[in-house]
């Protein structure tokens, strides 16, 4: 099953979108030992798209996101991201284009929020001034020198969003992005998401909360019994 939004082909043919499909999954299957998690996922996500994937807890949403993030090769089927096949060395080269925010912010507890951002900036080859700018954008300037360990979960989530603002990914992957966020932080997620698609990128979001996610994406699909359905 080909899953694209209405009018996507027309927009692409009209030259409004770059021709490359950012995410292309064909009959992707994934097993954890004997347990099938994904049983045949087909999905296309093109430039300028924001796609939501809903499903109950344990449906395999985060696993699907990790395949799209090139972090986990499928057991069978074909997964391509920026035209690089997941599980091959080409996929390592496109990882810099992908930004991922999971349930748990990827911060080092003993470092301050600023030191965490500086660390990620340096590894991404960015100037640390970009980290300061991102901290300002998410409203964490005043708390930037607190250790991540003593920050609230909301502050840690904002710092995680600051990392994504700073690195400007072309493919933004958000796992339960709106859970536990206040209105200001939700607005940051929305701004980040809009900026990504405006830059010609794409957003894939997964959540158990179909309704909330529906307000932030162009189309919502459902992950059911290991496969994606409209």
Partner 1 sequence: MSFARQVAEFCRRDLLTERRAGEVLTIVTPFGAVALMSFPLAFGIDSALVSRVGPALFWVVVFLFTMQIALRHSAAERPHQRAVIALLGADPFARLLGRTAAAAVLILAFMAILFPAMLLFYSPDLPEGWPLALVPGALAGIGLAQVGTLAAEVTAGLRTRTTLAPLIVAPLAVPLLIAGSQALESLASDGGILPWTVLVVATDLALAVIGAAIARPLEEASL
Give the residues lining the site for partner 1 (CB under 8 A). 66, 69, 71-72, 92, 95-96, 98-100, 102, 104, 106-108, 110-111, 115, 119-120, 122-125, 147, 163, 167
Residue 129: in which H helix or E strand, if any?
helix 128-137
d(CA 158, CA 109): 15
- Least separation in angstroms between residue 82's CB and partner 1 is 13
Of 62 and 222, the one with the shorter C-beta distance to partner 1 is 62
**Three-state DSSP class for 155?**
helix
- Least separation in angstroms between residue 17's CB and partner 1 is 24
174 vs 68, 110, 145, CA distance in Å? Answer: 11, 25, 26
Torsion, Cα 226 95 194 187, to 10 degrees, reads 80
- Least separation in angstroms between residue 137's CB and partner 1 is 19
Note the helical H segments in 36-112. 61-68, 89-94
- Least separation in angstroms between residue 202's CB and partner 1 is 15
Q: The tokens of 75 are what?
A: 């057991």
Of 69 and 177, the one with the shorter C-beta distance to partner 1 is 69
- Least separation in angstroms between residue 11's CB and partner 1 is 28
Of 79 and 221, the one with the shorter C-beta distance to partner 1 is 79
Strand bridging mode 50-54 / 76-81: unpaired
Of 122 and 194, the one with the shorter C-beta distance to partner 1 is 122
Q: Are 189 and 154 in contact (CB under 8 A)?
A: no
Of 3 and 97, the one with the shorter C-beta distance to partner 1 is 97
């Amino acid at each position: 099953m080909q899953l694209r939004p209405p009018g996507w082909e027309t927009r692409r043919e009209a030259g409004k979108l770059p021709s490359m499909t950012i995410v292309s999954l064909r009959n992707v299957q994934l097993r954890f030992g004997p347990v099938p998690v994904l049983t045949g996922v087909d999905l296309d996500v093109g430039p300028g798209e924001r796609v939501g994937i809903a499903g109950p807890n344990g449906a395999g949403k985060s696993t699907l996101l990790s395949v799209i993030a090139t972090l986990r090769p499928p057991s069978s089927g074909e997964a391509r991201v920026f035209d690089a096949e997941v599980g091959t060395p080409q996929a390592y080269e496109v990882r810099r284009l992908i930004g991922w925010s999971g349930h748990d912010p990827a911060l080092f507890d003993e470092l301050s929020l600023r030191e965490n951002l500086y660390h990620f900036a340096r590894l991404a080859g960015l100037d640390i001034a970009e980290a300061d700018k991102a901290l300002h954008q998410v409203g964490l300037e005043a708390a930037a020198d607190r250790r991540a360990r003593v920050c609230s979960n909301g502050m840690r989530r904002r710092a995680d969003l600051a990392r994504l603002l700073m690195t400007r990914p072309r493919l933004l992957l958000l796992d339960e992005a709106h859970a536990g966020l206040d209105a200001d932080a939700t607005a940051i997620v929305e701004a980040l998401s809009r900026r990504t698609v405006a830059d010609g990128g794409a957003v894939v979001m997964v959540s158990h909360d179909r309704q909330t996610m529906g307000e932030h994406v162009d189309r919502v699909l459902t992950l059911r019994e290991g496969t994606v359905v409209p």
